[in-house]
Amino acid sequence: MGSFQSFVNEKYEMKEFPLDELSERLRISQQTLVRWVDRHLIDATLDWTLTDDNEELRVIKVAKSKLDELEDFAKEYREGLVSRKEARRILKMIDRKKVKKMVRAGDIETTMVDEEKRVLISSLEDHLISVEQGDEEE
């Protein structure tokens, strides 16, 4: 008789991705993917594995049947708009001046909605991804 985990893996045909690769594929930051898993917004689990060089690697396991749903969810999320206050929360920045500075510099994009400036989530995610890749300082 097989283990419960092998039953689950067979039933749901789990696909394992390095977290950074799935982040790149979906154009969603690793931070956001982890938050989604922690809050059970997506049907996935986080784990660690070892590379061939014996280094730890963070992986995310997603049922193959849920991969299309995850891609659609990520695409829809990137198209959303948030307030600058919510943008600070997503970026984990308390200082509102820093977000204002990023808006003025064009580092994150905004649009006007009913006379209120809203931040494009896609620009926040692009910024987080560049920080995670070490392209720029947070």
Domain boundaries along the sequence of the chain: 4-78, 81-132
Q: How far apart are CA 19 and CA 71, in angstroms?
A: 14
**Model pLDDT for residues 4-56, shown as the tens digit of each residue:** 665 555 556 889 999 999 999 999 999 999 999 999 999 899 999 998 899 99
**Model pLDDT for residues 63-103, shown as the tens digit of each residue:** 888 899 999 999 999 999 998 888 888 888 767 788 888 88
- CATH T-level assignment (fold) for domain 4-78: Arc Repressor Mutant, subunit A (1.10.10)
The segment with the largest mean pLDDT, out of 84-98, 105-119, 124-138, is 105-119
Closest CA to 26 of 101, 122, 135, 133: 122
pTM, to two decimals: 0.78
Mean pLDDT of 120-124: 92
Q: Where are the beta strands (DSSP E) in 51-87?
A: 56-63, 81-82
